[in-house]
Amino acid sequence: MLKKSSWIAGLGLVCAAGFATWYSFGWQTNKHNPDALWHIVHERCANGAKPCTIYDASHGFALLHSVEGRGQYLLIPTKKVPGIESADLLGPDVPNYFAQAWSFREYVSRSYGVSVPDRELSLAINSVSGRTQNQLHIHLDCLKPEVRRELDAMAGNFGPSWVDLPIRLEGHAYRGLYLSDLGRSPFQILAAEIAQPQMHMRDHTLVVAPLGAGFALLDDTAHGLDRASGEELQDHSCRDYVKPV
């Protein structure tokens, strides 16, 4: 039987290790700390510490390799931006965070150890009710294979204006439009047709996926049991290209 002093010392080590793990990864696992992601980027990455892959204050973003999935990355502003509802996203000089995130898609392939074609990748940001963190983060990872097939089947429905899609994606009714490129911020594209974006942007999710020579921009709105979490369209195992470990 362990002596009491040894048991207490051992418990202390376990608690310390648990705290260190939470501090590094708690933004993924501890829903009671919605600011954990901000603290990681602002207090650790800004000071040259891990776990950010890139911290670029001059361009206003950090790239963080997520602990959820081998190849998922998060593009995060270096300043405090709570999420899709932030008025800061609609200013004339705000960085185009979606375009920034897309420019780092090669990191997904590197992490999976295989070459993932661009058309199998995607970007997503969740609504206020569909997220656990109050710091804007764009998810960069593979698209679910079935969603890829469904988007291809609906390619003819996409045009320059929003249309309700005839096929539900992961059981939810999305609408979409076609973008020839990511030159204009998807946040501003969405806000331009919402009567009161300062009130209603919070309820939306946005997903970007390659389609033809350009991109499909997808939008869903939180209502009922639908939390508008566009991340649901992503595959954090990239199962069509990566063998299970």
Q: pLDDT of 131-145, one tens digit each?
A: 999 999 999 999 999
Q: Find the helix or strand (DSSP H, E) in which 206 lies.
A: strand 204-211
The DSSP annotation for 72-120 comes to -EEEEESS---STT-GGGGSTT---HHHHHHTTTHHHHHHHTS---GGG
User: In this predicted model, what pLDDT tens digit does every residue of 171-201 receive, in sequence order?
Assistant: 999 999 999 999 999 999 999 999 999 899 9
Residue 139 bridge partners (DSSP): 74, 124
95 lies in a domain? yes
| Residue 243 falls inside a structural domain | no
- What is the pLDDT averaged over residues 5-16? 38
pTM of the model: 0.87
- Give the total number of structural domains in the chain: 1
Tell me if 180 sits within 8 A of 213, measured CB to CB. yes
In a domain, 2, yes or no: no
Residue 11 burial by Cβ neighbours in a 10 Å radius (0-12, 13-18, 19+): exposed
Q: How confident is the model at residue 4 (pLDDT cuts 50, 70, 90)?
A: very low
Range of the domain at 161: 35-233
What CATH number does residue 206 fall under?
3.30.428.30
User: Which residue has 């793990």 as its token pair?
Assistant: 21
Plot region of 113 (φ>0 → left; ψ -120 to 50 → alpha; else → beta)? left
pLDDT in tens, 47-104: 998 899 999 999 999 999 998 999 999 999 999 999 999 999 999 899 999 999 999 9
Cβ atoms of 73 and 140 closer than 8 Å: yes
- Residue 31 above 70 pLDDT? no
Q: Is residue 165 part of a domain?
A: yes
Asked if residue 51 is part of any domain, the answer here is yes
What pLDDT shows up at residue 16?
Answer: 34
Which residues make beta-bridge pairs with 207? 124, 218
